[in-house]
Structure 1
């Protein structure tokens, strides 16, 4: 489901989203039929799930006589898990560079609507979809009226990510989360098309096709055209 608040710009169901990954992670996802959701405080960005400076100052005032209020926000990050996707109508050269290596990665193409259907109502975790908003953390506020907001705002330096997130708060699960958790997903509903790394060899595409057939999937698989022939 979407996070219902006007502060977040939510894409419509037809919006195309991408996930770039290596083959081992992709196969693990197919075999388990699960998505991996990372613990929010394990991301490389140390500001992940934190508040902007103006919001933090407001938080300190609100917690002057209630230290637990501030402590809750400090520890909340350990209970929130995230799965990230990239919004783009087309492939992103930058995303290939960042999330794949050795010219052997691949990209899943989906849509917001497909993600919603694939997560389904029977999942054991409550999941929410929201688009990340990029702000100046020294000047702009992160709203306090929704516990998910700290995880849907990031610094402007990360605008290139164009990120949409699947988020779960596992505070009521009474379980220790190490690096993250896996959540059930309908793989066939989630994946629209698969793109093979633009610099990969033909044998790699054939390997992916063969693996899909052996696992009983018939996704459309294409070689990325970012490295297609130049017309002079």
Structure 2
């Protein structure tokens, strides 16, 4: 029998979060003042927004007299959009490796509280912020208490991501979503600090600083801890 999972975490406002991205995506964020949110069924993980095996077995029983029940949950994924962030008190070498290339890229440092304030202007649809819980999809249940829950659970293989998500359900918006949507966001509230790739060349770092200044932003740029001098 399905038992609700009670440790879905709502991070505290002072929780530090990161977003690692290349320069083109960073400039798009600054120029448009909008945060890209990807359609959930376009993620690399094919299980995104789906259910674990025990939950699926329960759903099949529920849908015996309602064949459209499972079909709805399957089609619902194309109406859910997600912005993924990384929870960590410190910057992550692994995240630099995964999300940036050629020793170029940036990391935005923010907090859950900043994120909530930055998204406040977006009133067209409901948004939910939550930390992803990593479970064994062969043995553990994905709760069904809330339509956002299937997007807050992933397989343990992805535990290294330490992910927190902004999730929006656009089912009532009557719009077609291709790869995703852009949500209005207050950039100055969202971004606390900027870290430039620790192995980037000086010309690249100067370019990032110059571009931000030309666009009228003066974010604090921190030196990466991975760039620190060694002591012998």
* Superposition TM-score, scaled by structure 1 size: 0.96
* SS of equivalent to 2:68: helix
Instruction: After TM superposition, list the pairs within 5 Å mapping 1:1-232 onto structure 2.
Output: 6-232=6-232
Does the CA contact (< 8 Å) of 1:205 and 1:223 recur in 2? Answer: no
Contact 1:18 1:107 in 2 (8 A): yes
CA distance 1:225–1:30, change in 2 (3 Å): same
Cα deviation 1:23-75 (Å, max 9, x = unaligned): 00000010000000000000000100000000000000000000111111111
Work out the CA distance in 2 between the residues paired with 1:87 and 1:163: 6
Of 202-211 and 104-113, deviating more is: 202-211
Q: SS state of the match for residue 200, structure 2?
A: coil
Q: Aligned pair count?
A: 228
Conserved in 2, the CA contact under 8 Å of 1:123 and 1:183? no
Task: Give the root-mean-square deviation of aligned CA atoms.
Answer: 1.1
Give me the whole-angstrom Cα distance separating, in 1, the residues matched to 2:121 and 2:68.
33
- Checking the alignment, whether the CA contact within 8 Å between 1:125 and 1:183 is kept in structure 2 is no
Q: Which moved more, 1:58-67 or 1:217-226?
A: 217-226
Shift of 1:124: 2.2
Structure 1 runs, 4 residues or longer, greater than 4 Å off: none
Give unpaired runs (5+ residues) of structure 1: none
Q: 1:174 to 1:159 in 2, by over 3 A?
A: same
**Alignment gaps of 5+ in structure 2:** none
